[in-house]
Structure 1
Amino acid sequence: MTAVPPDDALGGLVDLGDLIDAVRTAHSDLALGRAEQPVPAISGTDAGTIVLPMVATSHRLGLTVVKVLTDAPGNREGDGPVQQSTVVVLDSRTGARLAVMNGGTCTRMRTAAASGVATDALARHDSRVLGLVGAGPLAVEHAAAVRRVRPIDTVVVWSRSASRVTAFRDALRQRERADGVPALEVIAAPGPRQVVEAADVLCTLTPSRSPVVEGAWFRPGQHVNAVGAPPRPDHREIDSHGMARASVFVDSADIQLQKSGEVLLSLKDGATTEDDFRCELGAVLAGLVPGRAGLEQITLFNSVGIALQDLAFAALALKRTSWTTPNA
């Protein structure tokens, strides 16, 4: 088994541009039958902890990933991490264990990479203003990813905590220096509505149980990446009107229809039908279905996060540790 660096060193192994390309290929593989992404089963414990095992296989790479995500709300009392994850990489032919890695950096980077892929496929080419609802580490990674695919020059950001916006600005400046790219203009917004109304590309990055963004705020031609809500049927960031107003693209239709609160709650409200959530991003990338149909269309990538994206990250990380994939 390959020795993999600790989680805080994993980011240095994987170039974000390479990861965007790898995630793009992974989604195309899923649409073309070159990968498997079953619906994960959620298990609960007596302590109220949620355990979510996520599995994916790439036939092209000969790899299987098992990611175990835990959500332990009780950890807040002891200032422990509420959400943790572990990624196990297997040779899909022999079942041999190839690596085990912490999932924090992997999850953050592959989530932003998927938003970068969706933005590249669906957003208007003249998009220059990035809106961020949420200002944590995922926001920094999203700014880095989206500017890779669109000529972003301004970021409008909101968080419930002013100190988090300040920390975001400082972390973004540090990231820009490390990446050797020009500094983006950062504007702190007084509320999420002002972010939405200013943004060409909007990313929602909060683990909210109730909508923080209303569809009435959407602008014609806007692209939205709804990223923050975990795969739980009672969590959502976008209200039902927003899901109905936008043309929605998903990472996995089967998973969305069972696990996404954005999807299930808008269906319950009668604002949408299941057919509104059948169009997968991979099918757009593979040329099987159209993406953006016009300049005024509102597009929305609803992301719950899939293990195939973790597999894309793991394959790149392990290549940098002198390991080669079985079918490479």
Structure 2
Amino acid sequence: MTLILTRSDVLAMITLPEVFAAVRGAHAELARGAAVLPAPPAMRLPGSDAAFLVMAAASRGAGMAAVKLLADVPANRDRGLPVQRSAILTVNTEDGACAALIDGGAVTRFRTAAASAVATAALARPESRVLGLIGAGALARTHVEALTAVLPFERIVVWSRTDATARAFAAATGAETAGTPADVVAAADVLCTLTPSKDPVVLGEWFRPGLHVNAVGAPPRPDHREIDSEGMRRARVVVDSRLSALHESGDVLIPLRAGVFGAEHVADELGEVLIGAKPGRTDPAQITLFNSLGVGLQDLATARLLVDLARRRGIGTDIDLAA
């Protein structure tokens, strides 16, 4: 039987501490060679700015292979619909049976924030006390919950292109609003960029010694980026996946094409840092940056968690696809 989990099913079960552990374990498993994570192919139809990404992964530990089909449809913004929509299909690696079909929206939001928290725990200075956010949407709120669980932040500073959004976020979280992105960077010990930007919203000349950056929001398109080339050059960069970064990250590809740095500057993966195969932060004054595209292995790890929880709690709907 195949388990169907709707968004409400997912939200009834999912918690950040469990997703944090699952995502951390998945990246470590990848670094040890026990998981497979190919670069996601992107499909684009002629005459459309929509992109469709196939995010696949397989895990020996999870006993599962998964694929998330992500639709990135910019025109949905004018329709009042989510720009990104997705669904996750999983199969058992032992017999190939279809295990689950899961709505991807909440999974993506939680595993993305969890990955930022894993990177922050591994790369940020332990004495970091100010969290800065560029962007104030739902992903920002989930990041606050995830990151405050790994470091004892005393202040949160936020900027959004829309003042009303920033004020609502501040009222809900106790954050301070800032006038410009530069003001956020000036205050922050840990910075999260969470905008669907095509052009840089953060400049490297603003970076202070000791800063840690989670570059999260730009969609997986080679011409979109939130951080300028100088920011990427100045930082010790850790990626979630080398293959994905070199395939679809504008933050990485634009400065690479311009010759600002070579591929070795973006060669280290988060999982390698977690297992000690590559260094993390090497100096309190070092600027570190986690380039977070989001990868199918994070979706797989969260799906495994959700399927197990659903089976124990009797949540979801079973269907027989072969009937």
> Fold-level match, TM-score > 0.5?
yes
Deviation at 1:269, TM superposition (A): 2.3
Query: 1:224-268: CA deviations, max 9, x gaps?
Result: 000001111000000000000000000001111111101110112
1: distance between equivalents of 2:234 and 2:156? 24
Query: With structure 2 as the length reference, what TM-score do the two structures score?
Result: 0.93
Paired residue for 1:110?
111
Residue 287 of structure 1: how far off its partner (Å): 1.0
Aligned partners of 2:97 and 2:312: how far apart in 1? 14
Instruction: Work out the CA distance in 2 between the residues paired with 1:78 and 1:299.
Output: 38
Tell whether 2:261 aligns with 1:272: yes
**Residue equivalent to 1:239:** 228
Q: Does the aligned pair in 1 maintain the 2:2–2:98 contact within 8 Å?
A: no
**Distance of 1:292 and 1:12 partners within structure 2:** 37
- The offset of 1:45, in angstroms, is 1.9
Say what the alpha-carbon RMSD is for the aligned residues.
1.5
Alignment identity in percent? 49
Partner of 1:38: 38
Maintained 8 Å contact 1:130/1:154: yes
1:134 aligns with 2:135: yes
Between the aligned partners of 1:109 and 1:171, the Cα distance in structure 2 is 18
Aligned residues: 312
Q: Which residue number corresponds to residue 62 of structure 1?
A: 63
Q: Is the 8 A contact 1:4 1:321 kept in 2?
A: no
Task: Please show how residues 153-232 of structure 1 align to structure 2 within 5 Å.
Answer: 153-172=154-173, 185-232=174-221
TM-score by length of 1: 0.92
Opposite residue 137 of structure 2, the aligned amino acid is G
**Superposed displacement of residue 2, structure 1:** 4.7
Decide which of 288, 294, 311 is 2:277's aligned counterpart: 288
How far has the Cα of 1:125 moved from its partner?
Answer: 0.4
Residue equivalent to 1:27 = 27
Q: 2: CA distance between counterparts of 1:280 and 1:58? A: 17
Give the deviation of 1:40 after TM superposition. 0.8
Matched residue, 1:316: 305
Local SS of the residue matching 2:68: strand
CA 1:83–1:212: 2 relative to 1, 3 Å: same
Deviation string 1:282-312 (CA, Å, 9 cap, x unpaired) is 0000111110001000000001110100111
Q: Quote the Cα distance in structure 1 between the aligned partners of 2:236 and 2:293.
A: 17
Q: How far apart are residue 9 of structure 1 and its match?
A: 3.8
Partner of 2:67, secondary structure, is strand
Instruction: Quote the offset at 1:4 in angstroms.
Output: 4.1
In structure 2, stretches of 5+ residues that fail to align are: 314-323
Structure 1: 5+ residue stretches without partners? 173-184
User: 1:34 touches 1:58 (CA, 8 Å); kept in 2?
Assistant: yes
